[in-house]
Amino acid sequence: MTLTRTTPTAVAAYATSLIGRSRDHLPVPWTDSAAVDDCARFASHCLWGGFPISWVDNFKTAGDGSYAAGSGDFHPWDVLLFDWEHNGVGNHVEFFVGHDADPRYVRTYGANGSDTKAAAYRRRPVSYILGRFRPRWTEPAAPSSAAPHTNGTRRSKHMYTFVPIGKTMFVVSLVTGKRVGIKNPYHLELLKRARDNDGSDTMLAAELDIVKNTYLRRIA
């Protein structure tokens, strides 16, 4: 298989654009069945398109990446395999998006959770993680210690994305899952500049104040 979306940023943007959608309300792009568990289909669709993987353990041998057992060394948008029965067999997959404030948990994103079948952010116990699949990205993923950066404009590229819901565009944290409606196109442009800034864009203090205090602190 060949990755359709080859960077963590691309996968994050596409996956979060599907937030709230569920196999209970077909059609959805990652499955054609309302009866088949679709966590693996969702994750594989976001990476490769279609729905090439239906069985969780197939991520252990999937192409275009590598699998490692254990519950450490996570990067944002690794695919985490969970073993609810502690028998060495994967039962569920979700994307890793960040560490929780409580080290016993991680923040994840995926479909077909026990709380809702819809694509959503979740909080999962580390003790059930069987391993992780890391896609072979064309750009490096952020290290696992990455956290929301709200004191400046650098290093925020992977921390939030934009999702239209109804007629409103939302800024959505890729770590906490919190979202805030964007008030106007000017604010959207400021958020995009801050997200993509490599330090060369000297934003005005008033512009940074809008980005940090109106939005980023509310989704942190």
Walk me through the domains of the chain, giving residue ranges and CATH numbers.
8-135 (3.90.1720.10), 160-219 (no CATH)
CB 107 within 8 Å of CB 121: yes
Q: Name the nearest CA neighbour of 116 among 219, 53, 25.
A: 25
Token duo for residue 67: 């699998």
Beta-strand runs (E) in 21-151? 65-69, 79-82, 92-99, 105-110, 120-125, 129-135
User: In a 3-state reduction of DSSP, which class is residue 173?
Assistant: strand
Instruction: Calculate helix-pair angle for 39-48, 8-17, nearest 10 degrees.
Output: 130
Residues of the chain with pLDDT under 70: 140-158, 200
Distances in Å between the alpha carbon of 122 and those of 1, 29, 105, 116? 28, 21, 10, 10
Joined tokens for residue 149? 């950066």
Q: What is the pTM of this model?
A: 0.70
Question: Which token pair is 18?
Answer: 């599907």
Is residue 70 exposed (0-12), middle (13-18) or buried (19+ Cβ within 10 Å)? exposed
Element (H, E) at 169: strand 168-173
- Looking at residue 140, its pLDDT comes to 67
Distance CA(132)–CA(144), nearest Å, equals 12
In the beta sheet, which residues pair with residue 110?
120
Give φ, ψ of 105 to 5 degrees: -130, 160
Q: What is the pLDDT of residue 152?
A: 41
Token pair in block for residue 114: 């026990």
Between CA 77 and CA 114 the distance in angstroms is 20
User: Dihedral angle at the C-alpha atoms of 26, 30, 34, 38, nearest 10 degrees?
Assistant: -150
Find how far residue 129's CA is from the centre of its chain.
17
Q: Are 142 and 98 in contact (CB under 8 A)?
A: no
Cα gap 44→59, rounded to integer Å: 9
